[in-house]
Structure 1
Amino acid sequence: MTADELFLEPNIGKPSAKVGYFTSRPRFDRFAAAYRDGMAQLPKPVERVAVTTAFGPVRGYRFGDKGGTPLVLLSGRQASTPMWRANLPGLLAERTVWSIDSIGEPGASTQRTPLVGSADQAAWVAEALAGLGLTRAHLLGVSIGGWLAAQVAIHRPDCVASVTLLDPANTFAPLTWKMIAVSLGSVIPGMPMQVRYWLLSWISGGARADDSVPEGRLIASGMRDFTGAQPMPARPTQAELTGIGVPVLAILAGRSIVHDAERAAATARTIPGAQVEVWPHASHAINGEFPDRIAARFADFIAGLPDDNGTDPRR
């Protein structure tokens, strides 16, 4: 499979519209190689799909073929489907899992139209789910993917069966200066790769980050080779949070540098019926640190939902 077959007509070189793009062909090729290597570490997808949205084409992968309302994974900032390497085996045990590469992030999806605000973010996800044939889905997102799942719950609850938020960024508490420093530092042109890997290790609680770690190599390439055009994610208002009507599981990382975990948990508990936990030993890289525990907790969470009735995953 060539990069051009996997990626959906990527933007290479600065486009006229305010959208994300790979800065040159060699840089795209470098990212594409890291992406393909990362995908090779995952269980083989049952299906690879391209769907049309108003904001650009979205690449989706279906893993497994089991019953129940499907689970859809939403990746973190500058990340994509390969970041779920540790999580897929456990999550696949009981249901079909989809992963979609986010519009505006480095991955196999391609942004064509600017994203103006939170409603646009929720809209492309809803359109992608519809294009996959999913009437409703459980959403599980980490970091900015958790923020995105929350936005879908706020703006497009009709397509959501539940949301599981893993240390969601700028959702329940302000970003810390440490996270702002990482965000700004990661996109500085010409930054040495050693520094980019140090930033990744810092946000991941000191975990190893270098070319030997597929996810680290991919995210570092995204930092270096892709220029995003995402608007600053707006933190939900209190009225928006208390208005969420879908089931919510929020797991906050006690060692996160993104926000104050206890403050975030207190705000998350204002969502009616939300299940909220702080895992004290987790960092912001919680999905890679505790994949089995997350899979088990997610299974317990949805087992108590009345509508998870074993129907076809593409109902």
Structure 2
Amino acid sequence: MSAIYTSEAGASEIQRRYQEALRAWPVPAEQLRIPTGEGETFVLASGPRDAPPVLLLHGSGANTTMWQDDVASWAQHFRTYALDVIGEPGLSAPSRPPLASDAYARWLDEVLEGLGIGSAAVVGTSLGGWLALDYATRRPERVTHLALLCPGGLGRQKWGWIARALLLRLLGRRGVHRSVRAATGLDSPQARPVLDQVALIFTHFKPRTERLPIFPDGALRRLTVPVLVVVGGRDVLFDSADTARRVRRCVPHATVNVLPEVGHAILGQTDTVTRFLRD
């Protein structure tokens, strides 16, 4: 049994649902497997081969399906590479090297080299936003644009919601759904498929418990590429006001959008990201 799942049966169910989603991917795509020192990395490539490359990095407890509502639009203009982050419930290796190291930058180096890409725009959400920032601060020459949705590593990471989520999980399936709604901030009938998917994953998946390292001001000030940061005012995982304040102070050329009524799950930003990447 993989260390990142609670059981073989749970892992199999998550993988089965994932394969169904991949078969329903809204645009033609290539499924690639890139060997790295951390193990194999699964990449879903869409869009014209000669279009500008865009790397997509999902959040914790997710996989490439996070981008299924965005990719049809983005693939019209870019060659998108949606990665399954290592150590997460996708098709990449379960490896989880320490976040407070250069291991993830070295991993992304190997992925880009395997894809034949010298530099790319990077779009990341939550943990993926942290990974994108980590890479941009360590390898500035390899990142052309940086779009971050509810990124970690900037504002204070909140922990109070975890105790409530653990208590709700004791209530079984209903409790899991309530904790997922609290964590994501999604609570509409239209969001039900997303909530069901997240609830399934977190019923059988062991998320990371390692606190995301905070980027020092000096590292942020070295960012010279175009930067877009979108945060939700009701995010229960990260302090969005702190995130916005630090970015505005340390990266004055960045565009910062605060969505007051939105929680941690930021949806519907397809056009905003498209305009940013095309500028």
SS of alignment partner, residue 249 of structure 1 = strand
Aligned residue number for residue 299 of structure 1: 274
Pairing of 1:144-159 with structure 2 (within 5 A)? 144-159=127-142
Aligned mates of 2:258, 2:51 — CA distance in 1 = 28
Does 2:184 correspond to 1:201? Answer: no
How far the C-alpha of 1:69 sits from its partner, in A, is: 1.9
Task: Give the counterpart letter for 1:81 in structure 2.
Answer: T
Which structure is higher in RCO with an 8 Å CA cutoff and minimum separation 6?
Answer: 1
How far the C-alpha of 1:268 sits from its partner, in A, is: 0.8
Aligned mates of 2:50, 2:2 — CA distance in 1 = 43
Aligned residue number for residue 278 of structure 1: 258
Asked if the contact 2:87–2:96 (Cα under 8 Å) also holds between the matched residues in 1, the reply is no
Normalised TM-score (structure 1): 0.79
Pairing of 1:1-315 with structure 2 (within 5 A)? 12-14=1-3, 21-65=4-48, 67-112=50-95, 114-115=97-98, 117-169=100-152, 171-181=153-163, 185=166, 192-208=172-188, 213=193, 215-228=194-207, 231-269=210-248, 270-287=250-267, 290=268, 294-304=269-279
SS of alignment partner, residue 99 of structure 1 = strand
How far the C-alpha of 1:134 sits from its partner, in A, is: 1.5
Task: Give the counterpart letter for 2:232 in structure 1.
Answer: A
SS of alignment partner, residue 121 of structure 2 = strand
Aligned mates of 1:88, 1:126 — CA distance in 2 = 23
CA RMSD of aligned residues (A): 2.7
How far the C-alpha of 1:72 sits from its partner, in A, is: 1.3
Relative to 1, partners in 2 of residues 1:298 and 1:90: Cα closer, same or farther, differing over 3 Å? same
Asked if the contact 2:124–2:132 (Cα under 8 Å) also holds between the matched residues in 1, the reply is yes
Aligned mates of 1:40, 1:191 — CA distance in 2 = 34
Structure 1 regions of 5+ residues with no counterpart? 1-11, 15-20, 305-315
Asked if the contact 2:99–2:212 (Cα under 8 Å) also holds between the matched residues in 1, the reply is no
Task: Give the counterpart letter for 1:175 in structure 2.
Answer: Q
Aligned mates of 1:144, 1:54 — CA distance in 2 = 21
* 1:246-300, Cα deviation, whole Å (9 max, x unpaired): 321111112222233232111011125222221223322113xx1xxx2322232
How far the C-alpha of 1:205 sits from its partner, in A, is: 2.0
How far the C-alpha of 1:232 sits from its partner, in A, is: 2.4
Asked if the contact 2:62–2:88 (Cα under 8 Å) also holds between the matched residues in 1, the reply is yes
Aligned mates of 1:41, 1:236 — CA distance in 2 = 37
Aligned residue number for residue 308 of structure 1: none
Aligned mates of 2:176, 2:48 — CA distance in 1 = 38
Identical pairs, percent: 26
Aligned mates of 1:145, 1:42 — CA distance in 2 = 20
SS of alignment partner, residue 62 of structure 1 = strand
SS of alignment partner, residue 16 of structure 2 = helix
Aligned mates of 1:278, 1:229 — CA distance in 2 = 26
Q: How many residue pairs end up in the alignment?
A: 278
Aligned mates of 2:234, 2:6 — CA distance in 1 = 34
SS of alignment partner, residue 112 of structure 2 = helix
Structure 2 regions of 5+ residues with no counterpart? none
Asked if the contact 1:253–1:282 (Cα under 8 Å) also holds between the matched residues in 2, the reply is yes
SS of alignment partner, residue 263 of structure 2 = coil
Aligned mates of 1:155, 1:191 — CA distance in 2 = 43
